[in-house]
Amino acid sequence: MFRIGIGLDSHRIRFKTSLDISKQGGKTLKARLKGEKNLILGGVEVRQDCYFLADSDGDVVLHSLSNALSTAIGGGSLDTWAGPMFKKGIKDSREFLKAILKKVKAKGFRISNVAIMVEGQKPKLEPHRVKMQLSLAKLLQLDKQDIGIAFTTGQDLTPFGKGQGIQAFSTILLNK
């Protein structure tokens, strides 16, 4: 028996602001304002100068994967089962993914393969693809080659293509 799941998630991003602190020899030195979060995708910290506007870590890749897994087994959206976890102070999206993976396994399914498409104008994400694949392979207990990740800029056509956020689509094939 096979099941297919489709998931989507998106969040706005904010770049941490820079402050001019002094000028020396014609050069402006800058100090980054530190935020409490960094940009995390697929369980990997990909940037320290920006973050998702989200109550959790905002990892849209893990959120879309979680939604895909949930819909494949007839479940609801991320908030229906991760919401109570968040209320307990759990903000790490890897924990949300682990929770839905337990439900998938309890129904006797295993993941065959995963396909992920990420849209966002900035920051550039392709340099992080292999790290993301390795992180996801570990989390999902799959081989790296069973996880495809592609990136697109959106070329100013959507809010994501205009650099206002990042969205991720995931498809999952489960089998028994």
Beta strands 110-119 and 147-152: pairing type?
Answer: parallel
Using CA atoms, how far apart are residues 53 and 40, in angstroms rounded to an integer? 12
Using CA atoms, how far apart are residues 77 and 172, in angstroms rounded to an integer? 15
The three-class DSSP label of residue 21 is: strand
Using CA atoms, how far apart are residues 19 and 49, in angstroms rounded to an integer? 13
Q: Is 128 annotated as a binding residue?
A: no
Q: Is 63 annotated as a binding residue?
A: yes
Using CA atoms, how far apart are residues 64 and 23, in angstroms rounded to an integer? 45
Q: Is 146 annotated as a binding residue?
A: no
Residues facing residue 50 across a β-bridge: 15
State the sign of the Cα–Cα–Cα–Cα dihedral 116, 117, 121, 126.
Answer: positive
Residues facing residue 30 across a β-bridge: 20
User: What's the distance, CA 100 to chain centroid?
Assistant: 15
Known binding-site positions for a divalent metal cation: 9, 11, 63
Known binding-site positions: 9-11, 63, 162
